């Protein structure tokens, strides 16, 4: 009797798994490549927005606000976004938009650039040995003065390297932020234990996301794309301006040669001792706001006048 019932038992176990995988595949085929209208700002991180359906209110607004504050908004309310992937796990449906969010495997999120300390020169080491090996007071004083000068040189060089490393870290931070704002985001539909029956259908997913995503008339990958948002139009117009040549790492003089003399808006010195200055430049119908740290561009924005 056990031999006869064993296949049936195995089939009963395997069938839900098969339906789960098939339904996940159906979601991918139904949604991927289509465009939808987003009704909420979405954080620029692979963490995205978590909706937990074991809670009375699926949205944790405190967590949401924290992610928007930390990572910025990669997709804004009113933007049209493309569904780039659907990933079904045991207890989660990942609804990925415009790439799914920066910070996945292979994305460089490290913003800390550490400068290498300047080692002692052979000359400094030689002076230390000579001082240790001489008993002549006058010679020892002369050697000590030479050693002090050499140490001061090394310390100045080391301090300059540390400042350069701090500036480079700030530039890298802005680069990572830019990538976050271009990397899309995602909704994570989460349940406790496993996804309940009936939730792995397009209608169920759209119902769960209806408060945050407008699926009405959503387009396929081959459909005409909507007009670009105003921010994109500004970027395209700015490409014809000298401001398009702005780059992080440029010096104050480089920017002045490119855009003319700017107007100082503010300056400050941070806890790390680095001087930060913000300048405003006007060229044609473009306005550029440039942030310098120790005279090096770390951040800039371009808008129309």
Does 293 reside within a domain?
Answer: yes
Is the pLDDT assigned to residue 206 strictly greater than 70?
yes
Q: What is the reported pLDDT for 273? A: 82
User: Which has the higher per-residue pLDDT, 129 or 18?
Assistant: 129
pLDDT confidence bin for 7, thresholds 50/70/90: very low
Q: What is the reported pLDDT for 84? A: 94
Separate counts of helices (H) and strands (E) for the chain: 7, 12
Do 21 and 95 sit in the same domain of this protein? yes
**Nearest Cα to 50, choosing from 119, 108, 121, 101?**
101
Overall domain count for the chain: 3
pLDDT tens by residue, 83-104: 999 999 999 999 999 999 988 7
Do 40 and 135 sit in the same domain of this protein? no
Do 50 and 95 sit in the same domain of this protein? yes
Q: Which residues span the domain enclosing 274? A: 231-304
Does 13 reside within a domain?
Answer: yes
Do 214 and 68 sit in the same domain of this protein? yes
Single residue among 175, 195, 215 that ends a domain in this structure: 175
CATH, residue 274: 3.30.1450.10
For the chain, give the percent of residues with pLDDT over 90.
56
Is the pLDDT assigned to residue 15 strictly greater than 80?
no
In whole angstroms, give the CA distance from residue 223 to residue 230.
21
pLDDT tens by residue, 275-289: 899 999 998 888 999
Do 95 and 197 sit in the same domain of this protein? yes
In whole angstroms, give the CA distance from residue 47 to residue 39.
18
pLDDT tens by residue, 237-266: 445 678 889 888 899 999 999 999 999 999
Q: To 10 degrees, the CA torsion angle through 27, 29, 32, 33?
A: -150
Do 268 and 300 sit in the same domain of this protein? yes
What rounded mean pLDDT belongs to the chain?
84
Q: What is the reported pLDDT for 20? A: 45
In whole angstroms, give the CA distance from residue 246 to residue 251.
10
Mean pLDDT over 161-186 rounds to 84
Does 111 reside within a domain?
Answer: no
Does 112 reside within a domain?
Answer: no
Do 150 and 78 sit in the same domain of this protein? no
Does 44 reside within a domain?
Answer: yes
């Amino acid at each position: 009797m056990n031999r006869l019932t064993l296949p049936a038992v195995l089939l009963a176990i395997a069938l839900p798994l098969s339906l789960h995988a098939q339904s996940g595949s159906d979601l991918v085929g139904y949604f991927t490549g289509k465009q939808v209208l987003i009704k909420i700002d979405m954080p620029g991180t692979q963490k995205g927005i978590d909706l937990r359906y074991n809670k009375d209110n699926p949205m944790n607004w405190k967590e949401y606000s924290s992610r928007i504050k930390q990572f910025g908004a990669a997709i804004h309310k009113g933007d049209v976004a493309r569904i780039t992937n659907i990933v079904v796990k045991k207890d989660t449906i990942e609804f990925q938009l415009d790439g799914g969010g920066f910070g996945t495997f292979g994305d460089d999120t490290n913003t800390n650039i550490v400068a290498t300390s300047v080692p002692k020169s052979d000359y400094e080491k030689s002076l230390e040995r000579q001082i240790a090996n001489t008993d002549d007071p006058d010679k020892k004083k002369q050697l000590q003065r030479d050693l002090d000068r050499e140490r001061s040189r090394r310390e100045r060089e080391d301090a300059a390297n540390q400042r350069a490393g701090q500036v480079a870290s700030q530039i890298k931070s802005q680069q990572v932020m830019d990538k976050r704002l271009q990397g899309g985001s995602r909704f994570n539909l989460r349940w406790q234990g496993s996804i309940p029956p009936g939730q792995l259908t397009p209608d169920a997913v759209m119902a769960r996301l209806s408060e945050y995503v407008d699926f009405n008339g959503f387009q396929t990958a081959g459909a005409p794309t909507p007009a670009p948002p105003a921010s994109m139009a500004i970027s395209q117009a700015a490409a014809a301006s000298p401001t398009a040549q702005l780059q992080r790492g440029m010096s104050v003089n480089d920017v002045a040669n490119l855009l003319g003399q700017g107007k100082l808006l503010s300056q400050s010195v941070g806890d790390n001792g680095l001087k930060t200055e913000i300048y405003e430049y006007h060229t044609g119908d473009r306005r550029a706001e440039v942030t310098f740290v120790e005279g090096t561009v770390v951040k800039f924005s371009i808008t129309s006048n």
